[in-house]
Every structure is written in structure tokens, then in C-alpha cells.
Structure 1
Amino acid sequence: MTTLAKSLLTAIAATALGITAVSAETRITYKSAKTGSSYYQMGVELSEALKAGTDGAVIVTVEESQGSVQNVMEAKARGADYVFTTPPALVGLAQKGAAMFEGKGDPKFDEIRALFPIPSLTMHFVMSADSGTTDLVGLEGKTVLLGKGSFGATEGEKYLELFGLTDKVKIADAELSNAVAALKNGQIDGFVTAGSWPAPNVIEAAASTPVTILSMTEDQIAASKRTKLVIPAGTYAGQDADITTTSLPVVAYATSAMDDDTAYQLTKTFWQSKEKLGGTSPWWNGVDQDLMVNIEGKVHPGAARYYEEAGIALTDAQK
């Protein structure tokens, strides 16, 4: 065999190996949240964990989103590589063509399938210790910063109305980004924020000035029609007891277009990487098997295979 022939064979073999390597690589688009948000950062952390946990077999590209409604809407046009995050309730509304999805229904919404839960949006009512406020009723007469346009702001307004406090609380006209400084300087008595726990702005507030993070009663939680969540004692500086509050569960979804093996690999790698994720960012420590009950609708068959192997029971509605 001539030197030229050997070189050609070597080149062909190398090309074939390259094609095999590429075909073995799974590429996923992860539709998350706005750049700079905690949920976008979670997406980045998750993409890194999936790449490391699969030795590079899964490559995740994190894509910015304007919100959960957009994420759900795009499910009807995306392919098998699409993973997105949203509260389960929005999936149910999309499938019914209700609320913000009225007139926008599509049969493809029925093909949305859950993979695994991610940190929940958790309500925090953060009050300065000097305010003397220890419960929601104690908000009367206080100055509170809600922020604007966020889930936390909308939810905070809802709770004030729900518990008869709308005209009894002074709402500070400022952005939530100014909350910690305003609290420390005594310009406000407290602020309301929603995000994964532990929330960075609450950590900062508790570290810079004595605060009380309010708990809600069982009746208040029931009236809110949100999911109960307990933030363990010691999560924030000076927090000696559990905080009972409300949350909005958030789940990572795909569609039935995703093949079972990919869904299985994504789900298995997530749960196997969760401890390491929590070591990097504590908000992942708020995710455990107990959050599985918050998944409404069906779990992807590939993900269900992992849950069966792991001994994690699914409800009949999830199968």
C-alpha cells in the first residue's frame, strides 16, 4: 500500500470517528428566564452539571426567556431538544386554553411532559427587627417595599388585599434592587421578595441588619391557594426557627417529542448531580423528592423509568 493510500485511509477513519462522536452527543436547548435572574443562573449551573455528569455526552445551551408563559407557548413550535421551566399550573392552563392562553390553545400543549422539579419561587416577608413586626397582621402601619412587575410584587399585593391590609400599609415607591440599603438605612420597615431559597437579597439583608422573616399561619396559606413551604431554621442569619410560607412550584419540562433515552439521561443526571449543585449554590438544597407531588400532569416516560429505578413513586395522574 502506498503512503498516499495509507494517508487517505487514515483520514477516512478519523472522519468516521468524528461523525460517531458527534452523533453520540446530545444537544439540548434550556429555556429559562431573563439574563441576570436567579433562574437563569440555575440554568447555567444545570447545563454545567449535565455536561460534567455525562462526560460531555449532553451539551445544554441556556436560552434567555421573558417568562414562563413564553416558555410554554414555544413548546408547540420547538422540537425534541427543547427543555423549559414553568410553574405546573401554567401547563394546565395552556392545555385548557384558559386565562393567558385563551384563544391560543394548541393540541401540542397536550404533549408537554415533566422531567424534574427545580427550586420553587418562595415568598419572603422580610422585616427589620426594629419594626417589631412578627406576623402579617403586624404589617399594619408599616412601610413596605414590594417592587414592581415581579411575581413577588404581584403576590405581595394579593396578600395585602386578601388579609385586609391594602389601605393599612404604606407601599414604598422604589425598586426591589434598593430594598436592602433602604431597610438598613431605616427608610422602609420591610420588603417582600419571591425567589428560590435561600434568596441572595434576603441573605444580604440578614447579614447587614437584624431582620425578622415572617411566617404565615395555616389559614393564611390556605387562603392564598399557594403551596406550603418550610424554610429550615438557620437558613438566614439570626433565624432560629423554621419559616412557614408559600411557594409557587417550578418544574423542568420537555415534550413527548423527546426520546425516552434522552429524558432518562437528563433526569438521572440531574438527581445524581443535585448534591454537588447544592454545594455550589444552596438553592438546589431546597429540591428533594417531596417536591415531586407538585408536578401536575404527566411525567415523561423516560423520566418515569428513572423514578421507577430510584424507587420514587409517581401518582396515577403523573404516569
Structure 2
Amino acid sequence: MFKRISKTACAAAAFAAVTLTGASAETRITYKSAKAGSSYYQMAVEIAEALKKGTDGEFSVTVEESQGSVQNVMEVRARGADYVFTTPPALVGAAQNASGPFEGKGSDKFAEIRALFPIPSLTMHFVVAESAGASKIEDLAGKTVLLGKGSFGASEGEKYLELFGIKDQVEIADAELSNAVAALKNGQIDAFVTAGSWPAPNVIEAAASVGVDVLSLTEEQIAETKRTKITIPAGTYTGQDEDIVTTSLPVVAYTTTAMDDDTAYQLTTTFWEQKEAMGGNAPWWNGVDTALMANITGKLHPGAVRYYEEAGVELGEAQK
């Protein structure tokens, strides 16, 4: 009887060991970014595929649709060690200070948020038909401009028109941003404003089919916006012979201290190792480099810090 029980116990123990080994071979990650159909949701899918490929299937990433960055941060309160999400660094700061959209909604969990790596920034594009003859943002006075509705680009574009004193001199088109290229083609508008990772698909289409100028801002104007300066290299769009200097809203992939250091290290390492291949399939990844690390204003996950120190990437003391 004793021998039979021992054999059964041994068999059960062996099965459990195999099961645990199999489970440990796959690290499950939930990645929450943006609305389905958006460029940032597509980026999430690309990251999920890159992590799976780069770890030979060790990482299994589930991409979740999101209603926006504020929701992504708020969900930190109920999520565990497998949670990765994207948001601008400024929103993390707001959450940790219980300010802005997080006023009255503070949580100790927000103090545990840690950065992993930057992803393409939301980049402002002021796109003008060549026939409109505009070379600077002040030249939009007297023109019809499509801003769209309810997006970061729409609110930011309206803010800039007011900041630079031409809001009352611009006719704002009552149309959705999805109609921008068609409206530009048929002469209904002179320009449109869009914010997204570069190269932006709607700007690529407009540049190739209509011929456009994408306006640069001056250093003084960029300072006035209080946004982050970014340069879109010459040649990014058809007919673009010079760099475009504009503004951006940095976006970063985050997790929390609940994630163990080794997982954060492997996530960060695999992202950077796969970035070049990702850029070959989706050019917006080519705009991501370690220079964007300076835009991360809060702390990095210790596992990510290990990667950057090994890679020789200089970090600020506040990031460690």
C-alpha cells in the first residue's frame, strides 16, 4: 500500500513539475494602448508580434483595446504584474500628483508606475496644399483649415492658431479629419492639421496625390506651445526637401513595480532588438531612438534600467 501511494505521489509531483516548467516557459503580458483601428493600436499589435518573435514564443502578448491614455493609467489600480500600457509621461505625473483628470482619484498604485521604452510620439503636422502658397503658420490667415473634432490634434491645432494670433482669421472647416485628403484634393480646404506618429498615412497620401507643404514652427513658437520639439527628416514625405521642425507629445510604454525585474529587462531588451525589423515593416518605428529617452520624466523600471546601463544609454538620476 505504501509503495503504491508513493508511486502515485511521485507521478503527481512529476506531472506538476512538468506543468510548472511549461507555464514558466511562457510569460503572459497584457498590452493596453488605444482604440482599435488607430495607429497606436496597430503599433501595439506590431509590438506583440515582435516580442513573440524575439523571444521564440516565450512572451505571449494580449492586446487590449482602450478608450484612451487616462483609462490606461486608471487601470493600474486593478491590474497585476502582467500589465503594460501606453500614455504620455505628463499623464503619469498628473496621476501621481492627483491633478488634472486624476483630481480626486488618487491612488497609491500610481506611485508604482515605471517606464520601459518610448514609442512613436504624437507629432503635429500642419499640412497645406502647395497651391495655397503658405510657408509658415502665419500664412494660414485667410485660409480654410480642417482641424477635425475631438482629437488631440484638433484641440492642439486650435490652441496653436490662438497662440499665434490667427484664430479669428482662419475659417475652420466643419468636417471630419478622415475627409481631409479628399477635401484638399477638390479644393474645399486649403490645409488640415493632424497629430500622429510620423510618417503619418494621411500626410503620405496628401503629399503623393495633391502636393503639400508641411509647415515648420520657429524655436520661439515651439517654446510658446510648451510641447516637445521634434524633427521630421527631409525626404519623409514626397516633395519634402528640408527637415520639418514641429512639436510632439511623447508616448511611452509603462508597467509597474509589480512586474519582476527579469521580465522588464527582457521586455525592454527585446523591444530594442526588434525595433529595426519593425521599422522595415512600419516606418513610424524609424522615428524612435534612444534620444527619446530624455522625454521620460519619471522613473524607469529597474529591469529597464539594467538594459539601458548595459547598452550604454545615458539616463538621468531622476529616471533611475
TM-score (norm 2): 0.95
2:52 is aligned to 51
Looking at structure 1, the residues matched to 297 and 86 of structure 2 have their Cα atoms a distance apart, in angstroms, of 13
Query: SS of 1:167's equivalent?
Result: helix
Matches within 5 A, 1:100-249: 100-249=101-250
Looking at structure 2, the residues matched to 129 and 23 of structure 1 have their Cα atoms a distance apart, in angstroms, of 57
Deviation at 1:17, TM superposition (A): 3.5
Looking at structure 2, the residues matched to 173 and 27 of structure 1 have their Cα atoms a distance apart, in angstroms, of 45
Deviation at 1:205, TM superposition (A): 0.5
Looking at structure 2, the residues matched to 312 and 11 of structure 1 have their Cα atoms a distance apart, in angstroms, of 48
Query: SS of 1:116's equivalent?
Result: strand
Looking at structure 2, the residues matched to 289 and 111 of structure 1 have their Cα atoms a distance apart, in angstroms, of 23
Looking at structure 1, the residues matched to 44 and 252 of structure 2 have their Cα atoms a distance apart, in angstroms, of 12
Looking at structure 2, the residues matched to 220 and 56 of structure 1 have their Cα atoms a distance apart, in angstroms, of 47
Looking at structure 2, the residues matched to 13 and 81 of structure 1 have their Cα atoms a distance apart, in angstroms, of 27
Uncovered stretches (5+) of structure 1, i.e. residues with no partner:
1-8
- CA gap 1:257/1:129 in 2 versus in 1, 3 angstroms: same
- 1:297 pairs with 2:298: yes
Q: Percent identity?
A: 75
Deviation at 1:18, TM superposition (A): 4.6
Matches within 5 A, 1:51-70: 51-70=52-71
Deviation at 1:107, TM superposition (A): 1.1
- CA gap 1:10/1:79 in 2 versus in 1, 3 angstroms: closer
Deviation at 1:23, TM superposition (A): 2.2
- 1:90 pairs with 2:72: no
2:263 is aligned to 262
Looking at structure 1, the residues matched to 272 and 299 of structure 2 have their Cα atoms a distance apart, in angstroms, of 19
Query: SS of 2:150's equivalent?
Result: coil
**Cα deviations across residues 170-216 of structure 1 (Å, max 9, x unaligned)?**
00000000000000111100100000000000001101011000000
The one-letter amino acid of 1:237's match is T
Deviation at 1:76, TM superposition (A): 1.6
Query: SS of 1:36's equivalent?
Result: coil
Deviation at 1:71, TM superposition (A): 0.4
Looking at structure 2, the residues matched to 180 and 11 of structure 1 have their Cα atoms a distance apart, in angstroms, of 65
Divergent runs of 4+, >6 A: 9-15
Looking at structure 2, the residues matched to 309 and 48 of structure 1 have their Cα atoms a distance apart, in angstroms, of 25
Deviation at 1:70, TM superposition (A): 0.4
Deviation at 1:22, TM superposition (A): 2.0
The one-letter amino acid of 2:287's match is G
Looking at structure 1, the residues matched to 12 and 88 of structure 2 have their Cα atoms a distance apart, in angstroms, of 50
Looking at structure 2, the residues matched to 280 and 274 of structure 1 have their Cα atoms a distance apart, in angstroms, of 10
**Cα deviations across residues 220-239 of structure 1 (Å, max 9, x unaligned)?**
00000000000000000000
Looking at structure 1, the residues matched to 183 and 11 of structure 2 have their Cα atoms a distance apart, in angstroms, of 68
Query: SS of 1:126's equivalent?
Result: strand
Looking at structure 1, the residues matched to 142 and 183 of structure 2 have their Cα atoms a distance apart, in angstroms, of 17
Looking at structure 2, the residues matched to 298 and 24 of structure 1 have their Cα atoms a distance apart, in angstroms, of 29
Deviation at 1:14, TM superposition (A): 7.3
Identify which range, 11-20 or 291-300, moves more after superposition.
11-20
**Cα deviations across residues 255-282 of structure 1 (Å, max 9, x unaligned)?**
0000000000000000000000000100
**Cα deviations across residues 29-67 of structure 1 (Å, max 9, x unaligned)?**
001100000000000000000000000000110000000
1:281 is aligned to 282
Looking at structure 1, the residues matched to 11 and 190 of structure 2 have their Cα atoms a distance apart, in angstroms, of 73
2:4 is aligned to none
Looking at structure 1, the residues matched to 266 and 141 of structure 2 have their Cα atoms a distance apart, in angstroms, of 51
Query: SS of 1:40's equivalent?
Result: helix
Matches within 5 A, 1:74-89: 74-89=75-90
2:7 is aligned to none
1:3 is aligned to none
1:17 is aligned to 18
Identify which range, 71-80 or 243-252, moves more after superposition.
71-80
- CA gap 1:12/1:106 in 2 versus in 1, 3 angstroms: closer
**Cα deviations across residues 9-38 of structure 1 (Å, max 9, x unaligned)?**
999967753541222210000011000000
Identify which range, 27-36 or 15-24, moves more after superposition.
15-24
TM-score (norm 1): 0.95
1:6 is aligned to none
Looking at structure 1, the residues matched to 142 and 288 of structure 2 have their Cα atoms a distance apart, in angstroms, of 36
The one-letter amino acid of 1:47's match is A
